[in-house]
Amino acid sequence: MGRGFLFILLLIALPAAAQIYKYTDAAGNTAYSNQPPDGVQAQPVDLPPLNSVEPQAPPKPSAQTRTREQAANPYEVLELTNLPTTEALRANNGTFTVNVLIKPRLQGPHLFRLLLDEQPYGQPGNVPILQLVNVDRGTHSLAVQVIEGQTVIQQSPTVTFTVQRVHKP
């Protein structure tokens, strides 16, 4: 190993406040030590200050640094409730309400929009109780979207249900 490498190892191993001494040993070689040797003239070595890095807490994720999954699905839960899926929905005039279960709650500019049979239905709104009016009898699919303007932010799973309308004679 070269003397420069040993010198670097010596510098790394010593505490930051230690003094280093340079001297010539009996064989005529330049040597370094953290204590001046007895009977030999040693010169203190001025070392530059050591670089140090303070550990920092990781930054909190911003809207730009969220993972793709979080950006793609900002809501942990988005689903329709209050819809029977194993039996027919009895709605004599085809009017009924559905609830939206969402966590966390709807954010600022976002709105709910229903998709009835894969088509936008009604006006977008920010209330998690949505009404459907005069829906024909038969089997339908329903989902809710969270939108911002015309952009779909996230969509719930689609629920299939059957409307039963009883006509009075």
Q: Which CATH number fits domain 68-164: 2.170.120.12, 3.40.50.1980, 3.40.50.300, 2.60.40.10?
A: 2.60.40.10
Per-domain residue ranges of the chain: 3-45, 68-164
Q: Considering only CA atoms, which of 147, 164, 145 is closest in space to residue 84?
A: 164
Q: How many Cα atoms occupy the beta-carbon half-sphere of 36 within 13 Å?
A: 8
* Tokens 């966390």, residue located: 104
What single string gives the DSSP state of each residue in 81-109? ES--SSS-EE-TTS-EEEEEEEESPPPTT
Q: How many Cα atoms occupy the beta-carbon half-sphere of 127 within 13 Å?
A: 7
State pTM to two decimals. Answer: 0.56
pLDDT in tens, 66-116: 444 445 688 999 999 888 777 887 877 888 889 999 999 998 899 999 999
